[in-house]
Chains A and B, each alone.
Chain A
Amino acid sequence: MANQGPAYYSPYPTATYEGVITPPEGKALLLEEVVEEEKAMREVARVMLTSENATIFPGPQVLYAYNEEASKKATLIKEMAEVLNAKMIPMYDYRPKYPKIDAEVEINPNHPNLTIWHNKIKAAIFIGVHCHYANVALKIVRAETDCYTIAICGLSGHEDAMATLRDQHSSELAKFIKIAREVKSELKL
């Protein structure tokens, strides 16, 4: 089924070429394997804690206080960054930057690889990015960099991320932070 959709029009190699699709409800995706959510959360925390220049890319859905859930998530993401010792670089909107982005401090979905190359980021969490631009950005990053990408998604996840956690709302983020603390302690970091 995955071989017949419009993914084949993409110039980039995409996960659906390999038959990888988003995980079912209640599950998560690690590379091409569907796993329990908790297992994926532990792996995500381990990767973020042990990779060089681990970074969180918060998108518009969490950067702006347009509803109560967004504000709650913002507080949790800030805490998550502290637990994971991760830097934060915002994807604050999707407008193409002219003449070019400042790769040191911002990321744009139209050329996300520039920020990853510049900052030598080896693991990154995308969170709060709208589905269509997350799909664009993750495909480019997958094709152009060696960065381990993690999608923390409020809807059905993104198969082009190396790890995808679906249906993630503030309660799930709190659970992830708790697990990340445990992993950090196990790794004696």
Chain B
Amino acid sequence: MAIDIYKINPEFRDIMPQEIIDLEENATWAQNQKKPRGIKELPDTKELLEEHSLCAGCPEAAALRYVLAALPKPEETIIVNSTGCTSLMFPHIALHTVHSLFGNQNAVASGIKRSLAWRFPDKVKDVVVLAGDGATVDIGLDYTLQSFFRQEKITTICFDNEVYANTGGQESGMTPKGQVFKMAPEGKKFEKVKMWELATTSGCHYSINMTASAPKAVAKAVREAILIARDIGPTYLNIYTPCILEIGLSANEGLGEMKDQDKDRFASYKYVSDEAAAHLIKCKEEGLL
């Protein structure tokens, strides 16, 4: 995306809403920043997410804000998403997004990444997949893993809420054993899939399991994952964003739930391949981190 897309023609400045003028003047586009972007600018700058229609207090909305704030170069980033709660937010963000069919987001992202590399050989274009656990690990598992096997240079972020939330509460592969939902009344009989380990053994150079309780940690992981995907190979982030509605919590209890799980199912897991680790050191020296 050319950043000029938000440069308003002076003839129309007087009729444009403030939110669009702010996008031009006060959004943290990478080309306007001396330092790497991050969440520290969130309070003072125009966010790339204008508004959204998720439930009040939804941790997923907070996590998306952290992700958007941490993209190394949003003006050259294409986000591929899939059906689910996340797809309620993507129409509202000020970046290019492609909505794929349910589950095939990593296949779509692979094609986009390759096409962009052919079309813009002199530019860095980041392709980031952002989907829920149903799309990433259940229905789309084949596509997800195949993209890792093929060493596609894309970043896959799974917003793991451990349930098919917006269809009423069915269990997914990421649901923990014993969990009861409205449409899974007997409780899940199998263990939660450790997708972050699967990603590691499938060829990802960077794989993380975490919650969205610590914004800085999320932003750091996103940035590192994208920088590695640019030059080395596939990266995977599994971020717990609980569906407070489906597990019976109030709007103000999402953060507490994530903090609790920091020490339980989402205890920190981080794998960085040797090649990726060396690349991160190089990125740090170049001021990209």
For chain B, residues 8 to 65, give those with C-beta under 8 angstroms from any C-beta of chain A.
8-12, 15-17, 20, 50-53
Count of A-B residue pairs with CB < 8 Å: 62
- List residues of chain A with CB within 8 A of the CB of B53: 98-99
Among A65, A77, A78, A106, contact of B7 (Cβ-Cβ < 8 Å): A65
For chain B, residues 65 to 104, give those with C-beta under 8 angstroms from any C-beta of chain A.
91-94
- List residues of chain B with CB within 8 A of the CB of A92: 16-17, 20
Check A105–B9 contact: CB distance below 8 A: no
Taking CB as reference atom, which chain B residue is nearest A94?
B91
Among B9, B52, B94, contact of A62 (Cβ-Cβ < 8 Å): B9
Q: What 1/0 flags go to A86-123 for Cβ under 8 Å of B?
A: 00111011011111001001100000000000000000
| B6 close to chain A: CB less than 8 A | yes
Known: A63-B12, A78-B11. 8 other contacts (CB 8 A): A65-B8, A65-B9, A66-B2, A66-B5, A78-B12, A95-B93, A96-B91, A106-B17
Number of interface residues of A (CB under 8 A): 27
| A71 close to chain B: CB less than 8 A | yes
Check B52–A98 contact: CB distance below 8 A: yes
Taking CB as reference atom, which chain A residue is nearest B17?
A106
| Docked CA distance A88–B11 (Å) | 11
| B274 close to chain A: CB less than 8 A | no
Check B92–A64 contact: CB distance below 8 A: no
Number of interface residues of B (CB under 8 A): 22
| Docked CA distance A60–B93 (Å) | 16
| Docked CA distance A106–B50 (Å) | 16
- List residues of chain A with CB within 8 A of the CB of B285: none
- List residues of chain B with CB within 8 A of the CB of A74: 9-12
Known: A95-B92, A96-B92. A63 touches B8 (CB 8 A): yes
Taking CB as reference atom, which chain A residue is nearest B93?
A95
Interface of A: prevailing SS: loop
Known: A64-B4, A64-B7, A66-B4. A88 touches B12 (CB 8 A): yes
| Docked CA distance A65–B2 (Å) | 11
Question: Which residues from chain A sit less than 8 Å from chain B, CB to CB?
Answer: 58, 60, 62-67, 70-71, 74-75, 77-78, 88-90, 92-93, 95-99, 102, 105-106
Taking CB as reference atom, which chain B residue is nearest A101?
B17
The 3 A-B pairs with the shortest beta carbon distances in the complex, nearest first, are A74-B9, A78-B11, A66-B4
Chain A CB within 10 Å, residue with most, of B6, B15, B52, B93: B15
- List residues of chain B with CB within 8 A of the CB of A93: 20, 94
Among B6, B12, B17, B93, contact of A58 (Cβ-Cβ < 8 Å): B12
Least distance between B55 CB and chain A CB atoms (Å): 13
Taking CB as reference atom, which chain A residue is nearest B6?
A64
Known: A66-B2, A96-B91. A90 touches B7 (CB 8 A): no
- List residues of chain B with CB within 8 A of the CB of A70: 9
Q: What 1/0 flags go to B95-115 for Cβ under 8 Å of A?
A: 000000000000000000000
Taking CB as reference atom, which chain A residue is nearest B53?
A98
Least distance between A77 CB and chain B CB atoms (Å): 7
| Docked CA distance A95–B90 (Å) | 9
| Docked CA distance A63–B21 (Å) | 12
Chain B CB within 10 Å, residue with most, of A62, A64, A77, A106: A64
Taking CB as reference atom, which chain A residue is nearest B19?
A92
Q: List 11 A-B pairs, Cβ < 8 Å.
A: A63-B12, A63-B16, A64-B9, A67-B4, A71-B9, A74-B12, A90-B16, A96-B92, A98-B92, A105-B15, A106-B17
